[in-house]
Structure 1
Amino acid sequence: MELLHSGKVRDVYADGGDLLLVASDRVSIYDVVLPTPIPEKGKILTQLSLWWFEQLADVIPNHVISSTDVPSEWAGRAIRCERLDMVMVECIARGYLAGSGLKEYERDGAVSGVALPPGLIEGSELPEPIFTPTTKAPVGEGHDEFMTFADVEEKVGKELAAELRRVTLEVYRRGQQVARDKGIIIADTKLELGFTKDGTLKLGDELLTPDSSRFWQADEWKPGSAQRYLDKQFLRDWATHNTDWDRTAPGPEIPAEVVDATRNRYIEVYERLTGASWS
């Protein structure tokens, strides 16, 4: 088995013609891996992704071959999957205004070239979900930049650009529908897509997790105020308001109580969405 890539959270191994995607307990914010892991985080991300892949298999196929045919030391946190030729576009859907989307709107009145009504504030629900793709910056080489839909068409062609937008918005729509029934708002989410050897477009990486999405407590949602975050935004806020960190490596050590609070949010999202107890 050969280690092909070690990312901020996942390690990718080659095993014959397959890949093993192993989710660690590492946590990154602002593109920096913090020195303190979040116990069981990798397992929670993996199991929640597997659940979502199954729920949304009728929207688009995914890269999963097996969640059990993996080395025992990685049980629960690894997926055996197909090799994909990844599309070099970050596919993002937004239904609410937050994060970098909010900053883009405040500057331009639009996100990824999609004009939005005036007067929106942090946490505002958008008139309808929008596709806000970004570039994919190599790890450690800068930040992703917003792309317009025309930029995506130029990069991958009109037909594929249209399919990326359709899939991203439909996955978001379906995921949001499921989550709202469980009292959770999915404010935005990021997808990774790629092609198999036979040219089939499939979902890869992770899906609708607290690392790739913003989850808010629905009954406490209020535009213009801090949401109750059920994702790693909680950790970003802790680092921003409780440390003097300048967002360069290695990052601050996370206190035990913040580790526990972060882990508990990940578990809460898993249990509420899937209906299964985490043990």
Structure 2
Amino acid sequence: MQLLHRGKVRDVYTDRPGELILVASDRVSVYDVVLPTPIPDKGKMLTALSLWWFDQLSDVVPNHVISAEDVPDEWAGRAIRCRQVDIVQVECIARGYLAGLGWEAYSSSGTISGVEIPPGLVEGDRLPEPVFTPTTKTAPEDGHDEPMTFAEVANQVGEELAERLRSTTLELYRRGAQIAEERGVILVDTKFEFGVTPDGELILADEVMTSDSSRYWRVEDWKPGGRQVGYDKQYVRDWARDLGTWDKTPPGPEIPPDVVEEARRRYAVMFERITGMAWE
């Protein structure tokens, strides 16, 4: 077993040619900084949710999953064996509502990643149509991801692949948003990673629509006009931001027990509501 990469929250191993094992930890990162306090069961919950979504979306685009059982016993429940593909160096983000960096960009310019958004919207509003708002893929030690326009994506990967990335990202978002809404959940925004096989097939990779890579709100909580109640990593991000004493550089602050407990509860609530399965 060879460790290929240790990320902020996932570790990547290989033990066979052409295959990877993605291991999700209980680590949590905000503002590209890994906080010193883990969220118990987070890795298992996000792995289970990701596998559920891969299954739901498999008719939209193929994915890299080989098996969730054929993994070492010590990682059972939080690891996925998958195909090794060349990852496209673009973070493919779809937004259906105004929140986070999308809201900040709209507030200052009326656009997000070069996409014109109608005037007069407020924080938390639903967009007339979902939009493709890609960013760069930047290693934490090299800085932060930066917004990209579609033209910049096309310049980096080619017009044909850029069109496929945009159309597939939006199709995945629409399917996911519809499924979530049927369960009383708003899929605010989400990001995808894609890989390309040697024969040019586009493959959905990494994790998909987890509470780390997506924003989720409950339908009953949605009140446009301010910060919404998040059932995702945004809860921890908001806590860290509201401290007012941390400059968002390492080392990160310890998370107090009550915040850890509430974060775990929100991850579990969203898993259960979306999948319809109880979290044990």
User: What is the TM-score when the length of structure 2 is the normalising length?
Assistant: 0.98
Q: Does the residue aligned with 2:203 lie in a helix, a strand or coil?
A: strand
Whole-angstrom distance in 1 between the partners of 2:192 and 2:120: 29
Alignment of 1:247 onto 2:267:
no
> C-alpha displacement at 1:91, in angstroms?
0.2
Aligned residues between the structures = 279
Q: Does structure 2 retain, via aligned residues, the 8 Å contact 1:7–1:139? A: no
220-229 vs 251-260, greater mean Cα deviation: 220-229
Whole-angstrom distance in 2 between the partners of 1:140 and 1:29: 14
1:103 corresponding residue in structure 2: 104
Q: Does the residue aligned with 1:191 lie in a helix, a strand or coil?
A: strand
The CA deviation string for residues 175-233 of structure 1, in whole angstroms up to 9 with x for no partner, is 00011111110110000000123332111110001100000111221111231210011
51-60 vs 106-115, greater mean Cα deviation: 106-115
Whole-angstrom distance in 1 between the partners of 2:247 and 2:86: 35
Q: Does structure 2 retain, via aligned residues, the 8 Å contact 1:245–1:252? A: yes
Whole-angstrom distance in 1 between the partners of 2:171 and 2:219: 21
Structure 1 segments of 4+ aligned residues over 4 angstroms from their partners = none
1:12 corresponding residue in structure 2: 12
Alignment of 1:48 onto 2:43:
no
Any unmatched runs of 5+ in structure 2? Answer: none
1:57 corresponding residue in structure 2: 58
2:128 corresponding residue in structure 1: 127
161-170 vs 193-202, greater mean Cα deviation: 193-202
> C-alpha displacement at 1:139, in angstroms?
2.6
> C-alpha displacement at 1:243, in angstroms?
4.8
> C-alpha displacement at 1:102, in angstroms?
1.2
Identity fraction in percent: 63
Q: Does structure 1 retain, via aligned residues, the 8 Å contact 2:105–2:111? A: yes
Q: Does structure 1 retain, via aligned residues, the 8 Å contact 2:122–2:226? A: no
Whole-angstrom distance in 2 between the partners of 1:243 and 1:78: 36
Whole-angstrom distance in 2 between the partners of 1:130 and 1:225: 21
Alignment of 1:3 onto 2:11:
no
User: What is the TM-score when the length of structure 1 is the normalising length?
Assistant: 0.98
Q: Does the residue aligned with 1:143 lie in a helix, a strand or coil?
A: coil
66-75 vs 242-251, greater mean Cα deviation: 242-251
1:214 corresponding residue in structure 2: 215
Whole-angstrom distance in 2 between the partners of 1:140 and 1:22: 21
The CA RMSD measured in Å over matched residues stands at: 0.9
Q: Does structure 2 retain, via aligned residues, the 8 Å contact 1:44–1:267? A: yes
Any unmatched runs of 5+ in structure 1? Answer: none
Whole-angstrom distance in 2 between the partners of 1:220 and 1:7: 33
218-227 vs 45-54, greater mean Cα deviation: 218-227
> C-alpha displacement at 1:138, in angstroms?
1.5
- 2:172 alignment partner AA: V
Q: Does structure 2 retain, via aligned residues, the 8 Å contact 1:194–1:204? A: yes
- 1:15 alignment partner AA: D
Q: Does the residue aligned with 2:140 lie in a helix, a strand or coil?
A: coil
The CA deviation string for residues 17-46 of structure 1, in whole angstroms up to 9 with x for no partner, is 110000000000011000000001001111
The CA deviation string for residues 43-100 of structure 1, in whole angstroms up to 9 with x for no partner, is 1111100000000000001000110000000000000001010001100000001111
Whole-angstrom distance in 2 between the partners of 1:255 and 1:138: 28
Whole-angstrom distance in 2 between the partners of 1:119 and 1:109: 9
- 1:169 alignment partner AA: L
Spell out the pairing of 1:14-93 with structure 2 (5 A cutoff). Answer: 14-17=14-17, 18-93=19-94
Whole-angstrom distance in 1 between the partners of 2:187 and 2:117: 19
> C-alpha displacement at 1:242, in angstroms?
3.1
Q: Does the residue aligned with 1:190 lie in a helix, a strand or coil?
A: strand
